[in-house]
Chains A and B, each alone.
Chain A
Amino acid sequence: DAEITQSPRHKITETGRQVTLACHQTWNHNNMFWYRQDLGHGLRLIHYSYGVQDTNKGEVSDGYSVSRSNTEDLPLTLESAASSQTSVYFCASSETQGLAGISYNEQFFGPGTRLTVL
């Protein structure tokens, strides 16, 4: 069965370190998204990609970067981790509306990565 996985599931790091969170999907979806979830804020979009070599900034992109070298993966990098980036991070994917009969943009989510920055 197709799925979307994230690794690691839990990560503790120190302020100033570079951290990369992995996201891998086997749905063959064009679109991939990274969100962070914090109490009182719901899910906020960090970065997203509509295809290979395409990346876009979301609502809270400062301090984060992504790259899309293939369809399956969208790693999220924290260039220099800060305590304010302690959060739960979710990756999601969806297919593009209008392709192959797809008429809506339902997103499929990974299980999340809990990141603690000390």
Chain B
Amino acid sequence: SQQGEEDPQALSIQEGENATMNCSYKTSINNLQWYRQNSGRGLVHLILIRSNEREKHSGRLRVTLDTSKKSSSLLITASRAADTASYFCAIANFGNEKLTFGTGTRLTIIP
């Protein structure tokens, strides 16, 4: 069964607004990663946050991790039309190299 569950499943916002999507998981983790998938393409790694970190930034991306609630959020600030894509969280457990992906959030930016 999948560990990562994204919320919401779909999100539409106006260009320039901020987009927030959430990921919940069930067990202890080594790290949590976020990926983007443009239509018809493979996934691209965006950002990784380790289990001992609480917040991380990369450009317009901000990721938070709350291990007590077993949840993470991805914030995209000042959204652009090019941010339209599906976003997936991926869970990395200790002791192996596998990732478990959630079902994704489909983000649409309205120009």
Contacts and interface: CB of A to CB of B under 8 A. Distances in A.
Nearest to A50: B97
A44 to B, nearest CB: 8
Interface in B8-46: 31, 33, 40-45
Nearest to A31: B97
B48 A42 contact: no
Interface stretch (B60-68, B71-79, B101-109): B101-109
Nearest to A56: B98
Contacts of B98: 33, 45, 48, 58
Interface residues of A, number: 26
B103 A105 contact: no
25 contacts: A33-B98, A35-B101, A41-B103, A42-B88, A42-B104, A44-B2, A44-B101, A45-B98, A48-B98, A50-B97, A58-B98, A90-B43, A104-B48, A104-B50, A104-B92, A105-B31, A105-B99, A107-B43, A107-B90, A107-B99, A109-B43, A110-B42, A111-B41, A111-B42, A112-B42
Interface of A: 31, 33, 35, 40-45, 48, 50, 58, 90, 92, 94, 96-97, 104-112
Given A58-B98, A107-B90, 14 more contacts: A35-B101, A42-B2, A44-B101, A45-B100, A90-B43, A96-B97, A97-B97, A105-B97, A105-B99, A108-B45, A111-B41, A111-B42, A112-B40, A112-B41
